[in-house]
């Protein structure tokens, strides 16, 4: 033993780690600084947008804005109450159409879709996810507006539903796949039929995840303007009829933003603030509700 040690000792001494050259160390430092700089450059516009939005939005927000319909050009005051309600109305129609179809597709993909056909559906839903929203607007115009002969809330809802489905389908699938196989097998073991297992056990276990997916889709379409331009079209007045043109918050913001009037610009900022608050509010409200019920269920 000791022989071996004495023999290896001189060899160890001959190994020298060459010092890292100054050039290489400087490049390393430089790249780290550059990476930090990119983070700063990406966060800056985010802060700028939110900061400016809150600053301009709060200044322009008042009670009339939330309770009145738009005034004609030149008159001060007025608000976007009809657009806020109209947006919710169109989103409601969209969710009513899109959510069941999306969840159904997700169930199919996770419970029956481990095959070629399932892969095809997955591919199609990814493709659908990438279709520009304005193109979906054209299609909704073709299938609803042209048949009905006029713009309508329904057409807007159909466009938004088409945009929601792929997101909901894929997240539902992902969430259902997270449910351990053993839970399903336990249910089968009790003699519960497969459909009942899927609906009452698998889907129920994954509820919070599925709802998160739905909210993601909801948040994504809530601010969409392009597909509503020639479907819901916008309206200066109140409308809660499915077959009539309807005002929507994003549309109103767009119209006011590109107008030449200061008063309208002011209102566009207020509208943008309300839109962001509605989206964030809806998403977090549902998140909190879901986590509460999940906690209650676990007791």
Partner 1 sequence: MNSPHPLPRPTLTPASVSKVAPLLKAGGSEWADGLFRLAMMGCAVGIIAILGLIVYELVIRSQLSWHAFGFKFFIGQDWNPIEEQFGALPFVYGTIVSSILALLIAVPLSVGVAVFITEMCPVWLRAPISFFTELLAAIPSVIYGLWAIFVLVPILRTLVQPFLAKTLGWTGFFSGPPFGIGMLAAGVILAIMVVPIISSITREVLSVVPQQQREGVLALGATRWEMIRIGVLRNARAGIVGAIILGLGRALGETMAVTMVIGNRAEIAKSLFAPGYTMASVLANEFSEATGDVYLSALVEIGLALFLVTISVNALARVMVWSVTRGQPARSHV
Which CB sits closer to partner 1, 93 or 268? 268
Which CB sits closer to partner 1, 202 or 239? 202
Cβ neighbours of 196 (radius 10 Å): 10
Angle at 244 between CA 241 and CA 245, to 5 degrees: 125
Asked if 94 and 161 count as a contact pair (C-beta separation under 8 A), the reply is yes
Which residue shows structure tokens 């400087």? 26
CB 7, min distance to partner 1, A: 26
CB 269, min distance to partner 1, A: 7
Which CB sits closer to partner 1, 123 or 238? 123
Which CB sits closer to partner 1, 11 or 42? 42
How far is Cα 63 from Cα 78, in angstroms, rounded to an integer?
Answer: 10
Extract the tokens encoding 58: 């709060």
How far is Cα 138 from Cα 150, in angstroms, rounded to an integer?
Answer: 14
CB 2, min distance to partner 1, A: 30
CB 299, min distance to partner 1, A: 9
Which CB sits closer to partner 1, 7 or 262? 262
How far is Cα 207 from Cα 116, in angstroms, rounded to an integer?
Answer: 27
CB 191, min distance to partner 1, A: 4
């Amino acid at each position: 033993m000791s022989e071996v040690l004495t023999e290896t000792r001189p060899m160890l001494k001959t190994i020298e780690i060459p010092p890292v050259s100054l050039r290489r160390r400087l490049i390393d430092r430089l790249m780290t600084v550059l990476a930090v700089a990119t983070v700063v450059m990406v966060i800056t516009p985010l802060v700028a947008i939110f900061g400016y939005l809150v600053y301009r939005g709060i200044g322009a927000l008042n009670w009339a804005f939330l309770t009145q319909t738009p005034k004609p050009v030149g008159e001060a005051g007025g608000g976007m109450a009809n657009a806020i309600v109209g947006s919710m109305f169109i989103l409601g129609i969209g969710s009513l159409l899109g959510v069941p179809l999306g969840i159904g597709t997700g169930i199919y993909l996770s419970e029956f879709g481990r095959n070629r056909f399932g892969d095809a559906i997955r591919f199609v839903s990814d493709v659908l996810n990438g279709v520009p929203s304005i193109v979906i607007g054209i299609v909704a115009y073709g299938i609803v507006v042209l048949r009905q002969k006029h713009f309508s809330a329904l057409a807007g809802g159909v466009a938004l539903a088409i945009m929601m489905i792929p997101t909901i389908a894929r997240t539902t699938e992902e969430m259902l796949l997270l449910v351990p196989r053993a839970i399903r097998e336990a249910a089968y073991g009790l003699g519960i039929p497969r459909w009942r297992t899927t609906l009452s056990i698998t889907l129920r276990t994954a509820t919070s995840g599925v709802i998160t997916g739905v909210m993601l889709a909801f948040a994504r379409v809530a601010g969409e303007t392009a597909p509503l331009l020639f479907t819901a079209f916008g309206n200066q007045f109140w409308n809660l009829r499915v077959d009539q043109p309807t005002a929507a918050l994003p549309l109103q913001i767009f119209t006011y933003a590109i107008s030449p009037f200061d008063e309208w610009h002011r209102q566009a900022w207020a509208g943008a603030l309300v839109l962001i608050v509605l989206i964030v509010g809806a998403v977090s409200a549902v998140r909190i509700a879901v986590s509460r019920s999940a906690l209650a269920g676990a007791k």
